[in-house]
Structure 1
Amino acid sequence: MAIVGAVLFAFYAVAAVVVMGVFGWPLALVLVATVGFVGVQYKIGKWAALRSVGAEELPKDRYGDVHRRVEALADDMGIDKPRLMVARMGVPNAFAVGRKGAGTVVVSEELLQLLDPDELEGVLAHELAHISNRDVVMMVLGQGVASIVAIVAQWAVLLTGDNDIADFFLAIVVGQITQFLVLIFVFAISRYREYVADSDAAEKVGGGEPLARALEKIQRGSQRTRETEVDAQVNALCIFGEERGLERLVATHPPVEKRIERLRS
């Protein structure tokens, strides 16, 4: 975490120096602009994630036990009870957005139908751990840094070139490559935080077996259900993501087999 965090800071520091040198912005303005940019990304990202899956309030009259379990887990973790929502994703899954004081956990209808109560509690504990550990905010910050660095790289190409059509396309390519390089480190943090959330969840529910069984069921359910894919912008937030081949390089989740092995060890 320290090494990857230092690399991300180095990317941002270079971008900040370029902005101050090329545009003449003072450091204070650069920092304010960064906070504003990331803040807007956070607000829009939360709204877009909920909207993309058509999330609705999880009714207490039908799912009173789920609400009680989440309230108990939240109290044990020292955070406010998050808003609970349900969505039809086409796959059994769950994700969390927001921060400690204003978190939201979304579960799919397929997940509610698939898991036993103790397995569902393990999944909910995992999502609450993300909120408690500020993982959602950390991911938004990392992705914000990637966007900022990419934008600065694009402008650096445009301002140092001849302002022709070739420079325009070169700027796009440079921006995409730069963002990809930064996101590799962001996703490395994400994979590590998944292990941490698994460990915290296991501690809160009295062991890793319920969550391990839940992950096995979710994996099998996702393999059987291919008609509806989880929206791309939500997939990074979900408890289970599936990548193959080179996609593992930018995977937001570690291999589910390794997660299960750690939970059972």
Structure 2
Amino acid sequence: MNGRSLHSLRVRLAVTLALLVALAVGVVAAVAWATYTLVGAVDRTRVTAVSDAGPLLVGLLVLAACAMVVAHSRYGYRRVLESVDASPLEADDPDTHGLRPHVQRFAQAADVEVPAVAVATEREPTSFTVGNGTDATLVVTEGLLEVLSEDELEAVLAHEVAHLANRDATVATVAATVGSISEGLFARERRIGTWLQFLLTIGSVTVVLVLVAIPILVLSVAYLVVSVLARVVLAAGAITVGVHAQTREYAADRAGAELAGDPAALASALETLAAAGPPETDARTQFHASSTLGIVPYALTDTDEPGVPSSLARWVPDADSELDRAAWVRGLSSASGRVGRALEWRPSTHPPVAERVERLRRQARES
């Protein structure tokens, strides 16, 4: 990989880390604000005491955010492996495809620690590498092993080792697993929504409504705050991933092709994986860690939450509404439809396969 490309990747990784810290600060600040507001509603004297300790609290806020990012860097990769049920191959496990010897050879050539190798029992054909700065695991799926030739498989393994050589695997793992924050918020949103629905149901009886009015109000505010925060974190996490995702894939393609000594084999592997995967992938579901880290963006775990529309978008009518054919209604509906689509926008996590293949073909011609 040339020096200019490597410098660009390093800059983008630094920006990604800064955005991750900023996102963590925002999450911790939102929780602190909610706690502050709740305390204020109960005891104003405590609020005054908290306000007097402003500078100290700001420092604690930043420290808590940094601790959150460090925790994700240290333990986030384990969550990814658990989510796809991938366990590293042991010394006595069968390795009919020679995964470990290939990975060891590429790791030694790239001068990096040899990562563990794991096979996920998934049909989607993809691979990815996760790490925490000291440990790393290279994951391939059974679907990938079935569709690739030996030369293509070696090229894919070299691509994954290149991520380690470029020092981007750890940052990418943190950026991808930060989505777990939004997943936790979505789970709380569902729980609060269930209680709110229950109270609204029993509150339909006028006499009971007087008793549950305050809990309904409190839960409604909590639901709104959690709902908005969950979707803001989801969108911010997606944008954070988008800062470096495409650059890291181009860099790993080039470095991996150099390690394998066959750019054409990696180009062929990408074409095979693109053809063997799902014909359509909802962009909103591409922010599960396995898809953002993958050589191709196929999510390996069924998850509905990242695809949940924003709180605003779900109330925006579709542009093809049949409710009324009046010109002004059609104009409003079209405008609101564009707003709804804008609320669902997410940056691309991977460069187009055709562009990656073209670059690799060019690299093969130049070598």
Pair in the same fold by TM > 0.5: yes
Contact 1:91/1:230 (8 A) holds in 2: no
Distance 1:48 1:13 in 2: 18
Q: So what's the TM-score if we normalise by structure 2? A: 0.56
Contact 2:290/2:298 (8 A) holds in 1: no
Distance 1:257 1:90 in 2: 23
Q: Is 1:238 matched up with 2:294? A: yes
Query: 2:19 maps to which residue?
Result: 8
Distance 2:230 2:83 in 1: 24
Q: 2:131 aligns with which of 98, 102, 107?
A: 98
> Which of structures 1 and 2 has the bigger CA Rg?
2
Distance 2:280 2:154 in 1: 23
Between Structure 1 and Structure 2, how many residues are aligned? 250
The DSSP-based 3-state class of the residue aligned with 1:183 is helix
Say which is worse superposed, 216-225 or 110-119, in terms of deviation. Answer: 216-225
Give the letter aligned to residue 19 of structure 2: L
Q: Which aligned pairs between 1:19-30 and structure 2 lie closer than 5 A?
A: 24=54, 25=56, 28-30=59-61
Query: 1:115 maps to which residue?
Result: 148
Distance 2:141 2:24 in 1: 40
Please give the root-mean-square deviation of Cα atoms over the aligned residues, in Å.
4.0
The DSSP-based 3-state class of the residue aligned with 1:85 is strand
Contact 1:119/1:211 (8 A) holds in 2: yes
Give the letter aligned to residue 29 of structure 1: L
Provide closer, same or farther for how the CA distance between residues 15 and 66 of structure 1 changes in structure 2, counting only shifts above 3 A.
closer
Q: Is 1:36 matched up with 2:67? A: yes
Query: 1:174 maps to which residue?
Result: 228
Query: 1:159 maps to which residue?
Result: none
The DSSP-based 3-state class of the residue aligned with 1:250 is coil
Q: Is 1:262 matched up with 2:272? A: no
Per-residue Cα deviation, 1:197-216 (whole angstroms, up to 9, x for no partner)? 11111121224211111111
Contact 1:183/1:250 (8 A) holds in 2: no
Say which is worse superposed, 189-198 or 50-59, in terms of deviation. Answer: 50-59
Q: Is 1:185 matched up with 2:195? A: no
The DSSP-based 3-state class of the residue aligned with 1:105 is strand
Give the letter aligned to residue 117 of structure 1: E
Any stretches of 5+ residues in structure 2 without a counterpart? 1-7, 34-49, 186-216, 300-340, 363-367
Over the matched positions of the two proteins, sequence identity in percent amounts to 29
Per-residue Cα deviation, 1:79-137 (whole angstroms, up to 9, x for no partner)? 11110111211121111111453110111122222212221111111111222323232
Give the letter aligned to residue 116 of structure 2: R
Query: 1:138 maps to which residue?
Result: 171
Distance 1:54 1:143 in 2: 17
Query: 1:67 maps to which residue?
Result: 100
Any stretches of 5+ residues in structure 1 without a counterpart? 152-162
Distance 1:60 1:52 in 2: 21
Contact 2:176/2:288 (8 A) holds in 1: no
Query: 2:274 maps to which residue?
Result: 219
Give the letter aligned to residue 37 of structure 1: M
Give the letter aligned to residue 82 of structure 1: P
Q: So what's the TM-score if we normalise by structure 1? A: 0.75
Give the structure, 1 or 2, with the largest relative contact order (CA under 8 Å, sep 6 or more).
1
Q: 2:117 aligns with which of 75, 84, 87?
A: 84
Per-residue Cα deviation, 1:179-213 (whole angstroms, up to 9, x for no partner)? 24423431221122111111111121224211111
Contact 1:89/1:230 (8 A) holds in 2: no
